[in-house]
Amino acid sequence: MIYDYLFYKSYQLALRSRNFDDAPVFGGIWGVIPCLMFNAFTLMFLIDSFLKSELSSITGVLKYYKYIFSGVLICSMLFYYWYKERWKRIIIKYEEKENMKGRNIHPIIILGIAYIISFGMLLLAGMYKNGDGIFS
Amino acid sequence: MGIGITCPFLARLKLNKKETPDIRHAQGAARWLGYTNRFCCQFRVGFGIGGNISSNLFGAGVGFSENGGAYAYAVGFVMNERGQLDFSPSASYSYTVVYNSVRESQTAESRLASALDGVPSLAVNGSKPSYWDPASRSYILDNAEIFYNKSVPNNRWFATDIMSAVNNGMIIPDAAFKSVNNSTTGRFLSNGYKYISTVEMEATMKLAKPLTRGIAVVNIATIGIAVANDIDNGNYMSATTRAAVFGVATGAAFIPVVGWGVSLSIGIADAIWGDDFYNYVEKNW
């Protein structure tokens, strides 16, 4: 799963920065949050486009209750990765994979690409839904 | 002498777009040059070969080429408010569009009127009738003025817009970096102490970590919501600006020692001034 890999790469970066020494899970989800949010909203826009629904109007509501939503989102993610120490299994899995392959791509490259692609998809999905830009 | 420099990268981005070129494309090029509401000494509607425009044209304009290609361009040689010639590099956009025929009897004014149809944000006036310039194979409208009403949102999207939006977004992170580096408040947000050296900061980070992280991560996540909301409302410029801030704020947390402070400062700055700033970006860039 792509988010597990992003989690692992974010964790790697967190270790290097030493800013997340006492909460490594936090370092892992830090890099996942933007991509997860962008992808979720992309999916929402696409559903709206194809089903002619109004799901995306929820972004207006979320913006109003943004602090509550953000808090719930972060707590949910922390719970997901902390539950039965899932985060450790993810780290071990990808560490083994990288050791077998013998190569390690710098986490910034992976996270940067994932972020740009996620935002690009969100932008395109939004334009497609609104019929703007290249979809006008 | 103002010598224009075409920008093939920008041109390629739009190369395969199938649509009728209009004044908005020229607007994108003009905006890239920084001229959105200035007096152009000359406005050309040309019969170019398609592709990039040669570098010696004036003003900003759109054109339909004889071979079915079309272009929009803006080049230097623009007159400023004081009536002086202002020189700058140029940008051009080229398109491969299907255009049935181009009637040479059509004047530049009527072409412009056609191009402007449905675009209330722009208007072009010429003080003299246009004339045909066989050398450049262009209709030329001298002393043309381009009016750009900034209060009307532009729903077009250019590669240049994306870059300018990202650049605009860097204002907030830049301020946050400076705050942490240079101000006692910034340092306090980083680690809980006002007067502290970088070495000491690392040793004492633990004091304010939990609170800092909690605020930072919630603030960061709220930017993501705002990005989606902006895109939903068709405000692509401010969405891209926010996304740039979002990316930098997230990445800043990984900077050793000062990362949390920078990230938190960006989040706070965005929460306090963000909406006003992004509204300004949406309307003015």
User: Which residue of B lies nearest to A15 if distances are taken between CA atoms?
Assistant: B254
**Once rounded to an integer, what is the mean pLDDT over residues B213-224?**
75
The number of beta carbons lying within 10 Å of the beta carbon of residue B174 is 12
B10 SS3 class: helix
Task: List A residues 80-99 in contact with B (Cβ-Cβ < 8 A).
Answer: none
Predicted pLDDT of residue B163? 52
- What residue type is assigned to position B78 of the chain? V
Predicted pLDDT of residue B279? 63
Taking only the tens place, the pLDDT of each residue in B158-200 is 444 555 555 555 555 566 556 555 666 555 555 555 555 555 5
| More confident site: B264 or B191 | B264
- Separation of first and last alpha carbons in chain A: 34
Taking CB atoms and an 8 Å limit, are B232 and A26 in contact across chains? no
For residue A71, give the nearest of B218, B228, B247 by CB distance.
B218
Taking CB atoms and an 8 Å limit, are A130 and B234 in contact across chains? yes
DSSP letters, B121-181, are: TEEEEESS--EEETTTTEEEEETEEEEE-TTSPP----HHHHHHHHHHHTHHHHHHHHHHH
Tokens for B253? 């947390």
| More confident site: A74 or B109 | A74
Q: Which pTM does this prediction carry?
A: 0.52
The model's confidence at residue B93, banded by pLDDT at 50, 70 and 90, is very low
For chain B, the average pLDDT equals 51
**Once rounded to an integer, what is the mean pLDDT over residues B1-21?**
31
Taking CB atoms and an 8 Å limit, are A129 and B209 in contact across chains? no
Predicted pLDDT of residue B106? 37
Interchain contact A73–B (C-beta under 8 A):
yes
Write out chain A's pLDDT in tens, 136 residues. 788 888 888 888 888 877 777 777 888 888 888 888 889 989 988 888 888 777 777 777 777 777 788 888 888 888 888 888 888 888 888 888 888 887 788 888 888 898 889 988 988 888 888 777 677 6
Taking CB atoms and an 8 Å limit, are B254 and A14 in contact across chains? yes
